[in-house]
Structure 1
Amino acid sequence: MNIPIRRLTVFLMVLFAALLLQVNWLQAITAESLREADGNPRVNERKFDDQRGPIIVADEQIAYSEETGEDALYDYQRVYEDSEYFAHVTGFFSFYNETGIERAENSLLDGSDSRLAVRNFMDMISGEESQGASAHLTLHPDAQRAAVDGLRQFGDTGAAVALDPSTGEILTAASIPTFDANPISSLDTEVSGQAMEELDARLEEDNPLLNRAFNERYPPGSTFKIVTAAAALENGASPDSEMAAPDSMELGGTLRNAGGMSCNGGNPDTLANSIKISCNTSFANWAMELGAEQMYEQASAFGFNQGPLEVPLDVTESLAPNESDDEFVLARSGIGQGNLEATPLQMAMVASGIANNGDVMRPYLVDSVQAPDLSEITSTDPEVYMPGAVSSSTASDLTEMMKLVTEEGGTGTNAAISGIDVAGKTGTAQAGGDRANHSWYIGFAPADDPEVAVATVIEHGGGGGGASAAPVARDIMEAVLQE
């Protein structure tokens, strides 16, 4: 064999080896990523040709797959009932991506989870069509609707969260503005594309896709005075303990009471009365007396500064920094301003911890997941998330003080429910610049045997939390208690 032929033979062998390597690379290494790539048309074929399991609230399907008919390109279309009430929780399932529970429980809903492997194998043997599992949520449908309707009545943007204090079940997770998941999930790409374009165009304006209940942080305003009061009680104070409550304070900046009011005529005020009337200056003094470390530890005990949480939707971390270097910032943190940032879920957890005798339960949205034959694949057991956020005696004292808020002379009378004691706290949080304040309310009911804890916030609601956020919270609590 002459030299040119040998060279050609070696060259061909190298090419053949390279071809084998490429085939093995495609089949063994990158196959999964190529198979799941958005540009692969077979991905959409699989997504919409398989019957995805439903998302269920109180035995009603709020998301399910509906057959499209013989002449359709795909076999199933995702349908969302009352979508604007549940959209931020269910999310959507579309050509573009998945969000909400559709994403968090995707492998169970689409049937690809390994825990459904035996079921899928039996379906293949019997010729039955495979179907995904069903996700059963903890939401209370009437309370969820009351939350969305109430928020819309008082504002354009805001959120509400309600919890079962004894279990951590999320009964309400509402966010406005909301959206309709149906056009986004349409199999008509022109319809779904236009729907996404319209929502994307509003990202800077009001971002309807943002789940404000879990992923937006606000200064908590005077609702945080409950945390300050908890720190005071945990460190030896009582509801009758007094603190200086001047009409204003100069701490590198002027700190005044809401509306220029006087707390107890400018004289020292009790901790209980300061909660009832929401006195700023006394709580600023409480924060400075307690010190940055005590304030930081108490906030952290309720769940601040603990990192992101999954319910299973992702929840943004709430922040209460240690303000040891700045007395004015520390004073402002005592009234829920400064560098504090809290999600509505976090403030609902504060109320829930007090309602639950001092223990904060881990919040969760998915009660169980069931296979198509109704056998249970997963279930969520209640779990203590932050044990002993406060002692039982502190929780009892806080409850009694918070009951004063909804009684005559308190700031939260609009949250009162006839025949039921309600424990609460209003809040007004400065939003910065010329923008109107955020309006807050947190609370629970019945105060002596709590069944629901709630937090509501109206962005730029103005007028104080008692005027707008409190009645929304009342409607949510009533919806739960009327069951």
Structure 2
Amino acid sequence: MNSTLKRVAVACLLMFGLLMANVTYLGTVKAESLRNDSRNVRMLYSRYKIDRGWITADNTKTTLAKTVDTGDSKFRFEREYPLGKPFTHVVGWFAPESAAGIESAMGRYLDGSHPDLVVRRAIDMVSGKPAKGASVDLTLNTKAQEIAYKDLASTGKRGAVVAIEPKTGKILTMVSVPSYDPNPLATASKEKVNKAYNKLDKDGDKPLLNRAIDLTYAPGSTFKTVTSAAYLSDDSSRDENTQVDAPDSLPLPGTSISLPNYHGESCGGRATLVEALTISCNTPFAKMGMELGWDKLKEQAEKFGVGKPLAIPLSVAGSSIGKEEGKAELAKTAIGQQSNQMTPLQMAMVAAGIANQGTVMKPYLVNKVFGPDGAEIDGTDPESLSEAVSPEVAGELTKMMISVVENGTGGAAKLPGITVAGKTGTAETSPGKPSHAWFISFAPVDDPQVAVAVFVESGSAGNDATGGAVAAPIAHDVMQAVLGQ
């Protein structure tokens, strides 16, 4: 009898142990997957029981995302995006099973689950009130954002615009076109959300991608500012008036081909640095790149932030000048071609670094976070990312970029009564296909308030689009909006 009881007791203990092990496994190892399982309707309902914090801009004066009380017992709170398409790629959307943009990156603040809000969560739990999240105020200048979007979208262009405050790193504008209405992705119906998302996902123009930070492109002649920075920094005796070789074509070592200037134009054989940048000669900058070598060009690019991991807090694709290949390839890299690939954000950082006397500030989108009671609980302090060039070199580059706008290819960026510095870029893509069009700039030169990068994708502005004709007018409008002209 005792042996029988012992066997029963052992069996019970084993089953209890297995039960505890299963509970532990489900509660730890499988907890996250179960919580996010599409069949978990309790999780779905719980997402819509939270009075999610609002997303604002212009120092909380403009609402970009808000929560509406529907009165429905299951789906109590719904998300709305009153300003729609111009802000979609930054603000994102909040869906039944996912989120994007700031809605995702700042999700723990917005839904109230961040440790900074633990006291508030406890109060809501005790009082029986719906959980309430914090609000996030962004650095965006909404007037400039809407103008940038209109300039791109109204003419059917694909591309991106990024504007930065040089002294702080605040992102004033981040637009990507084509865009889409985020509201259909914010409904509580998974079926409707999936239908809307799949349609966008299959769109050949790829509207879901944020072209400002998700993709990289050949920067073309805008990268000549980086090559110039390396060349000036390599020898302190050099300045804007230093004479450089500017042949009509440059033989590329190890090949049977020569690198021409744009459209086969002549740059006179010799030119000063400022003259070469003003009319955007290819050959002098290609030769500079070969003389400097890959290591020095790469080091200079890295000082502007190229290759450094970056979150704003949205993740940013890594820019790169490519791998070391050979002299011929380096010549093309120095003029923004070959394997040279930059995000529009990165090129805005280059312009902002030159504007800020050589100091590149870390770019950021979140201005402040406010608790449900309106009290500030977090904020972003400006932070230096790197010293790209000395103030003296930044001054020389600025003079060269002023000449581009005043006397060269960037005339469409001129502002009345304000001195603008800029650089155009027209980047070849692949044989037989139209070029990308670029423009980077900053203003006012004597006290820079805004640095801009405009990128217009291949073929979306005609077959012979140039940075000066297509991108510079957009930069003009964005700078004008930021400066309140």
Q: TM-score, length-normalised on structure 2? A: 0.94
**How many angstroms apart in 2 are the aligned matches of 1:360 and 1:211?**
23
SS at match of 2:179: coil
Number of positions where the alignment pairs a residue of Structure 1 with one of Structure 2? 474
Shift of 1:317: 1.1
Shift of 1:32: 4.8
Counterpart code for 1:271: L
- In structure 2, the partner of 1:391 is 390
Q: 1:196-345 counterparts in 2 under 5 A?
A: 196-202=197-203, 205-236=204-235, 237-251=238-252, 252=255, 253-264=257-268, 267-306=269-308, 308-321=309-322, 323=324, 325-345=325-345
- In structure 2, the partner of 1:412 is 410
**Structure 1 gap ranges (5+):** none
Shift of 1:296: 1.2
Q: Which runs of 4+ in 1 moved over 6 A?
A: 2-6
- In structure 1, the partner of 2:71 is 69
**How many angstroms apart in 1 are the aligned matches of 2:291 and 2:14?**
79
Q: 1:42-53 counterparts in 2 under 5 A?
A: 42-53=42-53
Counterpart code for 1:55: I
Shift of 1:37: 3.5
Q: Contact 1:300 / 1:320 at 8 angstroms: preserved in 2?
A: no
**How many angstroms apart in 2 are the aligned matches of 1:364 and 1:269?**
39
**145-154 vs 328-337, which deviates more?**
145-154
**How many angstroms apart in 2 are the aligned matches of 1:391 and 1:13?**
74
- In structure 2, the partner of 1:440 is 438
The alignment yields a C-alpha RMSD, in angstroms, of 1.8
Counterpart code for 1:100: G
Q: 1:366-381 counterparts in 2 under 5 A?
A: 366-381=366-381
**How many angstroms apart in 2 are the aligned matches of 1:288 and 1:32?**
53
**How many angstroms apart in 1 are the aligned matches of 2:283 and 2:17?**
79
Shift of 1:12: 4.6
1:145 aligns with 2:146: yes
**How many angstroms apart in 2 are the aligned matches of 1:60 and 1:295?**
42
SS at match of 2:393: helix
Q: 1:343-382 counterparts in 2 under 5 A?
A: 343-382=343-382
**How many angstroms apart in 1 are the aligned matches of 2:234 and 2:16?**
77
Instruction: Give CA deviations for 1:34-59 in whole Å, capped at 9, x if unaligned.
Output: 33444311111111111100000112
1:450 aligns with 2:451: no
Counterpart code for 1:145: E
Instruction: Give CA deviations for 1:412-467 in whole Å, capped at 9, x if unaligned.
Output: 11111111111000000011132210000001011111100000100014421001
Counterpart code for 1:301: K
Counterpart code for 2:338: G
Shift of 1:4: 7.5
**How many angstroms apart in 2 are the aligned matches of 1:132 and 1:13?**
45
SS at match of 2:469: coil
Shift of 1:11: 4.0
- In structure 2, the partner of 1:482 is 484
Q: Contact 1:438 / 1:459 at 8 angstroms: preserved in 2?
A: yes
- The match for 1:467 among 444, 466, 469 is 469
- In structure 1, the partner of 2:81 is 80
- In structure 2, the partner of 1:134 is 135
**How many angstroms apart in 2 are the aligned matches of 1:210 and 1:309?**
17
- In structure 2, the partner of 1:55 is 55
Instruction: Give CA deviations for 1:260-297 in whole Å, capped at 9, x if unaligned.
Output: 11112xx2111100110000011111111222222111
Q: TM-score, length-normalised on structure 1? A: 0.94
SS at match of 1:476: helix
**How many angstroms apart in 1 are the aligned matches of 2:401 and 2:165?**
18
- In structure 1, the partner of 2:121 is 120
SS at match of 1:433: coil
**Residues 28 and 338 (structure 1), Cα distance of their counterparts in 2 relative to 1, 3 Å cut:** closer
**How many angstroms apart in 2 are the aligned matches of 1:154 and 1:303?**
32
Counterpart code for 1:218: Y
Q: Contact 1:272 / 1:401 at 8 angstroms: preserved in 2?
A: yes
Q: Contact 2:323 / 2:339 at 8 angstroms: preserved in 1?
A: no
1:161 aligns with 2:165: no
**How many angstroms apart in 2 are the aligned matches of 1:130 and 1:444?**
44
- In structure 1, the partner of 2:16 is 16
Q: 1:83-98 counterparts in 2 under 5 A?
A: 83-98=84-99
**How many angstroms apart in 1 are the aligned matches of 2:374 and 2:153?**
37
Q: Contact 2:44 / 2:97 at 8 angstroms: preserved in 1?
A: no
Counterpart code for 1:162: A
Q: Contact 1:154 / 1:458 at 8 angstroms: preserved in 2?
A: no
Q: Contact 2:49 / 2:74 at 8 angstroms: preserved in 1?
A: no
Shift of 1:259: 1.3
Instruction: Give CA deviations for 1:102-128 in whole Å, capped at 9, x if unaligned.
Output: 010101100111111112222333444
**How many angstroms apart in 2 are the aligned matches of 1:362 and 1:53?**
26
Shift of 1:20: 2.9
Instruction: Give CA deviations for 1:78-102 in whole Å, capped at 9, x if unaligned.
Output: 1001110100001110013111100
Q: Contact 2:437 / 2:471 at 8 angstroms: preserved in 1?
A: yes
Q: Contact 1:155 / 1:459 at 8 angstroms: preserved in 2?
A: no
Shift of 1:28: 5.2
Q: Sequence identity, in percent?
A: 45
